[in-house]
A and B are shown apart, each in its own frame.
Chain A
């Protein structure tokens, strides 16, 4: 589904400019993205307490609606919702109602009838969370947990949080996104987030078969070799090679890919000495990244996992808050 920045903004924000759905980075401005990062920073501290829970979403029901399986993303959303004290329902739709012939709309109507307050949606079709956000009952927040090749905004924001923790700023940073950009919804969201937050330069690095044709229009430079792609880079974001999404012969072989684009110690030396290495996981060791780099001192991959919970807590609580405020505005109750 193609959306403009204006339509994405209108759908995601309430009348006071607060988040009520989180579907894409598109259309969200720098203050709002910064507010998400700041709020997530506060939630990191919650994860370090003896009792890792706050009562913000107590009594609310969050439904993880996964039309496409994903253990890691679903687990972090589930943990985030539980740390906010919400009740969580996990639905793996691929083995559930829709496979019995029920339409998406009917599934949603049933879930709404169970008084759900938030749907976390993952879908193989781009735009599915947008469709749901447009058709859902007012007051229900929709969070995009990855749709097709379109967007994965919470993953992008946890990456931004990790970069800000390690580099303290976005201005002046040069960031390289390496690998399978073509199939990566994460890369699109990352490029938008980095440009909005003020990164100096975003490069995408990979073979031409794995870089989308329009990629420069997203606001990044294209490099086909690692030496020029990683020169003077502050942040390296390796992407997972999405073998399950590949149709046709886009690569000679994984071995060949690793030889040219896999990040090993030698190629890491092209970047700045203090560069950090990121990967959204799960890692294909020896395909995208060498173990010595994945487990090395410049790797922040496990920080990304920890930050994933904090970002999802921030987005969920902000969206719920924005929904409540919008209801107050519509009913005239002082919100």
Chain B
């Protein structure tokens, strides 16, 4: 296990990239939603850095995973918490690592069960590529290409660190 990247620098890039995207799209009052667990840690940090008034939301996508029939229900599922109306709002969806795009698909399905947002911007600290669905982050802190036996994990919440592990399994949550 090795420390892979400097998280503060990634967060700076993520914040700046997000500001640029929001400005380019003319979005002034976005609401943040973090995907548990790493995405919530990042949403908390971005929420403070962007100085947003409304609290950020937390999403647990366990009930929406497309592999329930293979791996079953996550025994540690917790209720999602969106403390605002999503209808017609501009949402910034935050996750730590994006790989296949399946977690993001599940998260978007869940968000639409709360209401129809005006739009969703996807921000991820790390993008591993390896896409299985046509879903791309709008903003990333770092793009990485891993070997087949490598996996990356965000540890936290305080301090945050990105670790690279040698493993047979594919990265968790991707």
Contact = CB atoms under 8 A, between A and B. Distances in A.
A323 to B, nearest CB: 9
Contacts of A87: none
A56 B70 contact: no
B68 A321 contact: yes
Nearest to B71: A335
- Listed residue (B63, B79, B114) with the most chain A CB atoms within 10 angstroms of its CB: B63
Nearest to A57: B68
A213 interface: no
Contacts of B49: none
Contact of A53 (B73, B81, B113): B113
Nearest to A45: B79
Nearest to A326: B72
Contact of B69 (A54, A322, A324): A324
Contacts of B115: 50
Contacts of B60: 42
A55 B109 contact: yes
Contacts of A45: 79-81
Interface residues of B, number: 22
A42 B78 contact: yes
B51 interface: no
B130 interface: no
A51 interface: yes
Given A317-B73, A325-B72, A51 B78 contact: no
B77 interface: yes
B72 A335 contact: yes
Contacts of A325: 71-72
Given A321-B72, A335-B71, 10 more contacts: A35-B75, A41-B78, A42-B79, A45-B80, A50-B113, A50-B114, A54-B64, A55-B63, A324-B68, A325-B71
25 contacts: A39-B77, A42-B63, A42-B77, A45-B79, A45-B80, A49-B113, A49-B114, A50-B115, A51-B113, A53-B113, A54-B64, A54-B110, A54-B113, A317-B63, A318-B73, A321-B68, A321-B72, A321-B73, A322-B72, A324-B68, A325-B71, A328-B70, A333-B70, A335-B70, A335-B71
Which 10 A-B pairs have CB atoms at the shortest separation, nearest pair first? Answer: A321-B72, A45-B79, A54-B63, A51-B113, A321-B73, A42-B79, A42-B77, A325-B72, A317-B73, A324-B72
Interface of A: 18, 35, 38-39, 41-42, 44-46, 49-51, 53-56, 317-318, 320-322, 324-325, 328, 333, 335
